[in-house]
Amino acid sequence: MSGFWGHFANLVLIAVVSGVLMTVSGAAAALTFYVVVLFLLVLRHSHNLKRLDRWLRSEEAVLPDSSGRWGDVFARLARLMRDQKQTHQNLSSALERLRSATSAMPEGVVILDEMDRIEWCNPVAEKHLGINASLDTGQHITHLMRQTQFAEYLAARNYKEPLVIKQPRQHELTLSLQFVPYGDKQKLLLSRDITKLERIQTMRRDFVANVSHELRTPLTVIGGFLETLSDDNQPDPDTRKWALELMSEQTRRMQSLVEDLLTLSRLENTENQVREEHVNIPEMLRTLYEEAKSLSGGHHRITLELDTTTKLLGNLFDLRSAFINLISNAIRYTPDGGNITLRWAIQDGKGVFSVQDTGIGIEPEHISRLTERFYRVDRGRSRETGGTGLGLAIVKHVLSGHQAKLEITSEPGKGSRFSAVFPATRLLIQQGE
């Protein structure tokens, strides 16, 4: 309102001055005054327009200073600029937070436009899909993901279920991919690494199949002999004795399998709190040494080396189970006349129980999978020696519960060494050692 009255006052002033000039000097003087005033106004507006144009071109932060109506215009522009700057800062901040949050996600995220071209992706998507965010922006997604099933999944536009594919650039990587439409025909491509989940599912299927297979043979043997023994024609005593011995052997085999399964289930139960105690490892190994000689039946040369009297903080029952599994494996896979050495020592500040044998050895490609359930290098030989295929899986879980690790070195035809390495925090070192 004040601007209106100021403008009105100026008009009144010009009219009064013009009237005075017309009365005193005539119409020519009044007209001259009007021309001069209009000329000055044009100059002022022209000057301010140039200043505004120069400011718009230079994008200077400070607006030109002026008075009157132009001052009001510049003031409003200044407020608009402040509001715009604040809005831009807020949007930039929100976008940065969104990008930071998306980059921290364990899933890969790719933003696609309406033509399925890449607009942005997070680092996880770069790793999963082999995309470079700085180089591949604007590229069609199928130019980088060339699998036929992926192209068909994109074209079908039925994204309710994810697509599971093996990443050809990383053969061990299994991905779950799913499109999420949003906005105006845009999409999000979400990628998730399900390699471990797929491996667990495979292990579960193999576990069921292996347990079924391991139980089928003894049950078939027992069932066949029971059918024979229940026949009206009673077999001779020698045949009967032979059948009963075989059934007893197969029963013991099933019992051993069930006991190992129960042990493994107990070890995998994270809610099962293991009672820890001071375990006298040298004393336990002396007992296991005698058991090993009995199990070998004199077919191997077994020695015990106790380089330390250090005890361990742990669970006696579980440690004994792990150690006897390592010892029995060495006896099974070492030919008659071979050497087996049991050793307890301190190496680099860690407690190490090792079983060294001169057995058949293991090919390098098998070593990483030895602790898997039912994994066998030679299935036929394993069954002949009476193993359940769960021993090293039990060893792995026992050592994991003691923050220890299993180290395996082997050379085919020369032998193997299995070492249980315990951290220094588990050692109960005697004074004087």
pLDDT digits (tens, 9 = 90+) for 316-334: 988 998 999 899 989 988 9
Cα–Cα distance, 103 to 262 (Å, whole number): 43
Are 106-193 and 199-268 the same fold in CATH? no
pLDDT of amino acid 224? 77
* Residue-level length of the chain: 433
Secondary-structure class of domain 199-268 per CATH: mainly alpha
Model-wide pTM > 0.85 = no
Query: Half-sphere exposure of 234 toward its Cβ, with a 13 Å CA cutoff?
Result: 4
The reply to whether CATH 3.30.565.10 applies to domain 277-428 is yes
Q: Which candidate, 214, 144, 182, places its Cα nearest to that of 390?
A: 214
Q: Is the pLDDT of residue 294 over 80?
A: yes
**Residue 242 parent element (H or E):** helix 237-268
Q: Is the pLDDT of residue 139 over 80?
A: yes
In whole angstroms, what separates CA 224 from the centre of its chain? 49
Provide the token pair at 360.
């058949």
pLDDT of amino acid 117? 92
Cβ(211)–Cβ(258) below 8 Å: no
Q: Which residues make beta-bridge pairs with 342?
A: 304, 355
Q: What are the b/e assignments for 10-33, b being 16+ CB within 10 Å?
A: eeeeeeeebeebeeeeeeeebeeb
Secondary-structure class of domain 106-193 per CATH: alpha beta
Q: How confident is the model at residue 421 (pLDDT cuts 50, 70, 90)?
A: very high
R_g (Cα) of the chain, nearest Å: 43
Q: What is the mean pLDDT of residues 416-420?
A: 94
What is the DSSP annotation of 293-359? HHHHTTSSEEEEEE----EEEE-HHHHHHHHHHHHHHHHHTS-TT-EEEEEEEEETTEEEEEEEE-S
Domain ranges for the chain: 2-98, 106-193, 199-268, 277-428
Q: How confident is the model at residue 432 (pLDDT cuts 50, 70, 90)?
A: low
Q: How far is CA 168 from CA 126, 129, 132, 328, in A?
A: 14, 10, 17, 42
Q: Is the pLDDT of residue 188 over 50?
A: yes
**Residue 427 parent element (H or E):** strand 427-428
Q: In what order do the strands lie in the sheet with 277-279?
A: 277-279, 311-314, 427-428
Q: Which candidate, 220, 216, 172, places its Cα nearest to that of 194?
A: 172
For 380, other C-beta atoms within 10 Å of its C-beta total 8
Q: What is the mean pLDDT of residues 124-135?
A: 86
Q: Which candidate, 227, 228, 226, 220, places its Cα nearest to that of 250?
A: 220
Cα–Cα distance, 181 to 103 (Å, whole number): 20
pLDDT digits (tens, 9 = 90+) for 41-60: 778 778 777 777 777 676 66
Q: What percent of the chain has pLDDT over 90?
A: 21
